[in-house]
Chains A and B, each alone.
Chain A
């Protein structure tokens, strides 16, 4: 199993450009997540998905969009890139959580995409 894969690894964008960060997992996980991590900081949740066709906002969704048409893929779209979006982006996946909402299941992370907006 490849686990969680992300492309590209690095990208430089100009202000106002758009791009899509790709994320694929081959573990048949229902839950997928997009995080951003700024230098010296923890991870901030951008969007998450509990299954194909279902997505929801996290803590910092502004400036981003997602879709989940299949179990495997969860792309993140940046529209009108801004310098504030310079960050490392991580995609993660996990098994379904319990009916009580306990998301304790281990999250598996991709290697990250390092994005710079100039």
Chain B
């Protein structure tokens, strides 16, 4: 079967750093994407890793290790507006296969 595992909820303090992990098991793999979704909103693209290593985009970074079937999203200098759900998704055979999402709760 195909599965992605990520924590259901993470809590952090404003200004801190948080890491959201994602492990996957899929029948085809071309890369790992991350999306953000605010309550009541649509998912928006954050980053993509097609190769092993770290990708940095402003306060957000994403990492991939193909050999470990593992990736993470790192959010730095957390702001209240970062409170949202974060989804990892595997690019597999012309489709995106989505994890169940991690709800990030940020406390002042």
Q: Are B98 and A43 in contact (CB under 8 A)?
A: yes
- What residues of A have a CB within 8 angstroms of the CB of B4 in the complex? 42
Q: Are A112 and B48 in contact (CB under 8 A)?
A: no
Closest beta carbon of chain B to A7's beta carbon, Å: 14
* Chain A interface SS verdict (over half): loop
Residues of B in contact, count (CB < 8 Å):
24
**Which residue among B30, B43, B87 has the maximum number of chain A CB atoms within 10 Å of its CB?**
B43
Across the interface, A43 reaches (CB within 8 A) one of B31, B41, B43, B94, namely B43
Q: Are B50 and A104 in contact (CB under 8 A)?
A: yes
- What residues of A have a CB within 8 angstroms of the CB of B43 in the complex? 43, 90, 107, 109
Q: Are B31 and A102 in contact (CB under 8 A)?
A: yes
Across the interface, A103 reaches (CB within 8 A) one of B42, B44, B94, namely B94
- What residues of B have a CB within 8 angstroms of the CB of A107 in the complex? 43, 45, 96
| Residues of A42-59 whose CB lies within 8 A of B | 42-45, 48, 50, 56, 58-59
Q: Are A104 and B95 in contact (CB under 8 A)?
A: no
- What residues of A have a CB within 8 angstroms of the CB of B100 in the complex? 40-42
In this assembly, does A111 line the interface, its C-beta being within 8 Å of a C-beta of chain B?
Answer: yes
Q: Are B98 and A109 in contact (CB under 8 A)?
A: no
Closest beta carbon of chain B to A45's beta carbon, Å: 6
- What residues of A have a CB within 8 angstroms of the CB of B28 in the complex? 101
